[in-house]
């Protein structure tokens, strides 16, 4: 029986649990960026090794996972098909990628496109800068929303209560210890940054690193993606006005190309 006294299907509960565990395995491999043994996956998930071994076999049979010669599990080719199909439908992404390379050429700094993945911000595309400056984030990197300028923008369009609930659930200290963690402050910052069309972070995700980001909005006015310039902190003072204008223009160019006019 469920909470309303309605009979529930034990087989469905079991199947749902299996799906959740399979997704957990896929998420862990994606986040770790490396193949793992069934034993390692069992330790991370807290699931019985026998369950994980069985799931890996089933996922491998369906090409959702692959196995190397050492027996370690890795993401399978079927996932690429899903990812490409999803990406092909994201017309905003194609326009954003073109704008990313144009912005990268214009400012000579690293440029990233980011999207929201539940309580995390994820880098979905990146163009390296022309100098030796590098950051640890790469395509696929996920960090909590409260660590980054882009993370705040990606929830800035939400109603007050929804925005507050997101930060209550996901905010946590950054590695530098400088990221804001108070949900109410974060909610106000996200709202302000989104409506200003610009968000800035310095040292909150990585030491000596600054990020200047602008939202890319969809048909309904929500923040679908962000365009951001990632650069050394010491160059921000001299280049801030140029970078802020350029990243805003790049984000707006994507919206214009899609026939959107949220910002005039």
State the CATH architecture for 10-81. Answer: Orthogonal Bundle (1.10)
Alpha helices in the chain (DSSP H): 10-32, 38-45, 49-61, 77-89, 91-107, 149-155, 160-170, 183-196, 236-257
- CATH 3.30.450.40 positions along the chain are 90-257
Two tokens, residue 181: 């963690």
pLDDT digits (tens, 9 = 90+) for 233-253: 999 999 999 999 999 999 999
What are the residues facing 116 on neighbouring strands? 121
- CATH 1.10.10.10 positions along the chain are 10-81
Q: 65-67 and 73-75: which strand pairing?
A: antiparallel
- CATH superfamily, domain 90-257, is GAF domain (3.30.450.40)
pLDDT digits (tens, 9 = 90+) for 97-144: 999 999 999 999 999 999 998 899 999 999 998 776 666 677 888 999
pLDDT digits (tens, 9 = 90+) for 167-204: 999 999 998 999 999 999 999 999 999 999 999 999 88
């Amino acid at each position: 029986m469920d909470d309303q006294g309605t009979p529930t299907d034990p087989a469905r509960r079991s199947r749902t649990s299996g799906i959740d565990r399979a997704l957990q395995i896929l998420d862990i491999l994606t986040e770790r960026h490396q193949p793992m043994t069934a034993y390692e996956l069992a330790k991370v998930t807290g699931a019985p090794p026998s369950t994980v071994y069985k799931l890996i076999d089933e996922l491998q049979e369906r090409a959702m996972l692959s196995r190397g010669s050492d027996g370690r599990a890795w993401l399978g080719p079927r996932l690429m098909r899903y990812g490409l199909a999803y990406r092909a439908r994201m017309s905003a992404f194609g326009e954003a990628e073109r704008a990313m390379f144009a912005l990268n050429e214009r400012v000579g700094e690293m440029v990233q496109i980011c999207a929201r993945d539940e309580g995390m911000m994820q880098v979905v595309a990146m163009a390296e800068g022309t100098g030796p400056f590098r950051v640890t984030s790469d395509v696929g990197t996920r960090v909590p929303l409260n660590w980054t300028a882009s993370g705040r923008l990606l929830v800035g369009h939400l109603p007050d209560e929804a925005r507050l609930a997101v930060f209550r659930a996901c905010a946590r200290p950054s590695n530098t210890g400088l990221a804001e963690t108070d949900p109410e402050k974060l909610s106000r910052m996200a709202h302000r940054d989104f409506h200003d069309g610009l968000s800035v972070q310095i040292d909150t995700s990585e030491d000596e690193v600054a990020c200047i980001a602008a939202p890319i909005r969809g048909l309904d006015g929500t923040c679908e993606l962000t365009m951001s310039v990632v650069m050394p902190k010491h160059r921000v003072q001299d280049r801030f006005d140029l970078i802020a204008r350029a990243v805003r223009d790049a984000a707006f160019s994507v919206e214009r190309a899609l026939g959107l006019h949220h910002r005039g």
